Chains A and B, each alone.
Chain A
Amino acid sequence: MSDKKIRVLIAKPGLDGHDVGAKVVAHALRDAGMEVIYTGLHQTVEQILNTAIQEDVDVIGLSILSGTHMPIAEKLMAGLQREKAQDILVIIGGNIPKKDHERLKAMGIAGIFPTSTRFEAMTGFIKDRVKVQ
């Protein structure tokens, strides 16, 4: 494994303003040795895609608490395909009910970390998956 730090974009898509989770996770990933880019509230899927590509990130972490995760995830995954950037690992956190997990995974979302997930579950997952690639 190289010394290069894993680069993660933490993104708050849409109009949802609940950013405590996004910021807390950003701090936790940084403390776990990753390079974290957080772009603030109200990002469109296009903005997230652009940032992810420009910043050459390994991981995109979406934080969504308003219930709009399905359409946003769908758009983002389609965008990654269009940009031929499917190698970016996409994970999602926030208020994500179990009933949606299967459909999100089918779309290509690698990991789902609902509210009250432990940090090490998240950091462990990212380190395992990014290393494999």
Chain B
Amino acid sequence: MSEAAKEALGEKKKEEKKVRPVILESGIEVKPVYGPEDLKDFDYGRDLGTPGEFPFTRGIHPLMYRSRPYTMRQYAGFGTPNETNERFKYLISQGQNALNVAFSLHSQMGIDSDDPLAEGEIGRVGMAVDTLKDFEEAFEGIPIDKISTSLTINGSAAIMIAMYIAIAEKRGVKLEDVRGNAQNDILKEYIGRGTWIFPMEPSMRLIADTIEFCTRKAPKYYPVSVCGYHIRESGANPVQEIAYAYCIARAYIRSVMERGLHPDEFVGRFSFNFDIHGNLFEQVGKFRAARRLWARLMKEEFGCQNPDSMQMKMIAGGGGGGLTIEEPENNIVRGAYYGLISALSGTQTMALCSYDEAYTIPSKKAARISLRTMQMLVEEMGLADTVDPLAGSYYIEWLGNEFEKRIKEEMKKVDLQGGMVKLVADGTIQREVSLQAYNIEKKLQSGEIVKVGMNKYRQEGPQEELAVEFHEYDPAVAREKIEGLRKVKASRDNDAVKAALDRLRIAATGKENLMPFIMEAVKTYATVGEMTNVMKEVFGTFKEPVKL
């Protein structure tokens, strides 16, 4: 380099130092300008690869959205299964091609509608499910062989998966052809979201049971969707979001390997659920790095050879933590950007948070706007035209490298402290993320992190509240649901129910896979609560390690 060039570079560096510093939430410091010097060792084949090929940085399919746009799957469900069925049909009539089922909180906790603990909850945040009859009603008239369905369920996932499989079978779909997926990620429930039921060990067993069962009997079903999403919503930064999710995925993989399965037999049916809010480029860098790292982990650490196991499949688009209760219409704009980020990041499935979600479960109008946003990106804005359009950007590729390095470091930290299962059992991870949530809140209150309309450019005086169509809790719905349950209990073969529950109890005390026993009980119209209680008798319940 000539003296003049050196001097010029020195001047440039000085100039750069004068501008305001930018440090991403992930702790990565961003320079004002990036160039070839930031990608000195860049190797296309090693770092990116052709789309659809290892390490899948550019996407898991060769033609990505050009051959098949992302699936659009808004989260829906409330009230009775009949009401949910109507909303499902509405969303399908508007062009949505997949379903994402929200369950009532008590159903998520394995509690029946007629239990006093369910009081005030029935149908409030999702549909209330007590028996197989509810699944039959919710999916009445919906072509489940064409529409793939995702069940957002965790603590009681084994039961709900069994119910879904049972109605598919009743409709003549062969077990080996049943498609769909369940969230079924219990470790993240202990970290955030909180719908845990059993202690960790039996919970991990149920996860392994469902994965093993699906692998052997229903191989097209995706039995687990590992959620960095809720961990990030609970306070984790984007690096930790991926690192913790991958540590959780590794824990599940190892628990299934103990059943004698090789990862190549089942990891291809894992999917991930990630969060989008905050800095646009940071998120894109995160996802592209995450895809590459997953491929490398599966190949190098688990000896996978099946490309399917190395392809990180994800649902992304939502980011409730980024939305504001102030000037809620601004959330429509935020949702659109989150959708853009998700499309630029090569997601398989997209779901956006609706603009009224800080107030109520999404109204019909809000759900439609989210769906239209996803459709616009594909059909108006050209997001489906070419694969991974940001590839080769100095900044994006540099960010990806930084992310991969930091995610690996964070995973190593978890390993060195004893691994994910231990750190969740003793509350260490929960404490870490809640402390971070506190720090973020302090930065929001001080204005260090800007949320437009909330802590900057805020309207003076009382905030106008959104004229939302509130989803009101309706005691009549609860009465109807409880009455329906009473009728099912009166008309079913109660001896068969008792026998099936007894067999489930005995199996739970042993080591057998519980899925066949749950399937059997489900088919006798045993209730979610009855099955859960039988397992609680054997397993006990989780005691939360509360650390502030």
Contacts and interface: CB of A to CB of B under 8 A. Distances in A.
A42 B189 CA distance: 13
A95 B359 contact: yes
A38 B546 contact: yes
Contacts of A119: 441-442, 445
Interface string A92-133: 000101110000000000000011101100000000000000
B121 A26 contact: no
Interface stretch (A54-62, A67-75, A79-87): A67-75
Given A14-B120, A15-B121, A67 B548 contact: no
B161 to A, nearest CB: 20
A21 to B, nearest CB: 9
A40 B438 contact: no
B8 to A, nearest CB: 48
A36 interface: yes
Nearest to A16: B105
A20 B191 CA distance: 10
A33 B108 CA distance: 37
Given A36-B548, A116-B325, A24 B441 contact: yes
Contact of A15 (B105, B442, B454, B470): B105
B124 A66 contact: yes
A34 interface: no
Contacts of A17: 105, 189, 192-195
B326 A116 contact: yes
Contacts of B113: none
B465 A98 contact: yes
Q: How large is the interface on A (under 10, 10 to 19, 20 to 34, 35 or more residues)?
A: 20 to 34
Interface in B118-175: 119-121, 124-125
A40 B445 contact: no
A67 B441 contact: no
B445 to A, nearest CB: 6
Contacts of B326: 116
Instruction: Pick from B119, B120, B125, B465 the residue with the most CB of A within 10 Å.
Output: B120
A39 interface: yes
Contact of A38 (B106, B325, B435, B548): B548
A19 B358 CA distance: 15
B252 to A, nearest CB: 21
A19 B434 CA distance: 9
A41 interface: yes
Contacts, number: 90
A97 B465 contact: yes
Nearest to B427: A40
Instruction: Pick from B125, B441, B454 the residue with the most CB of A within 10 Å.
Output: B441
A41 B544 contact: yes
A119 to B, nearest CB: 6
A97 to B, nearest CB: 7
Contact of A14 (B121, B324, B437, B473): B121
Instruction: Pick from A15, A115, A118 the residue with the most CB of B within 10 Å.
Output: A15
B450 to A, nearest CB: 14
Contact of A18 (B117, B193, B324): B193
B233 interface: yes
Given A14-B120, A40-B546, A68-B124, A23 B325 contact: no
B189 A23 contact: no
Interface in B169-220: 189, 192-195
A24 B234 CA distance: 10
A20 B437 contact: yes
A68 B437 contact: no
A24 B438 contact: yes
12 contacts: A17-B193, A18-B194, A23-B437, A23-B438, A30-B548, A67-B360, A67-B473, A68-B120, A68-B121, A97-B470, A99-B470, A115-B358
Interface of B: 105-106, 108-109, 111, 117, 119-121, 124-125, 189, 192-195, 233-235, 324-326, 358-360, 434-435, 437-438, 441-442, 445, 454, 465, 470, 473, 544, 546, 548
Given A14-B120, A17-B194, A115-B325, 18 more contacts: A14-B121, A15-B106, A15-B121, A18-B194, A19-B192, A20-B434, A24-B434, A24-B437, A24-B438, A27-B548, A42-B109, A67-B124, A67-B125, A67-B473, A71-B120, A95-B358, A97-B359, A118-B445
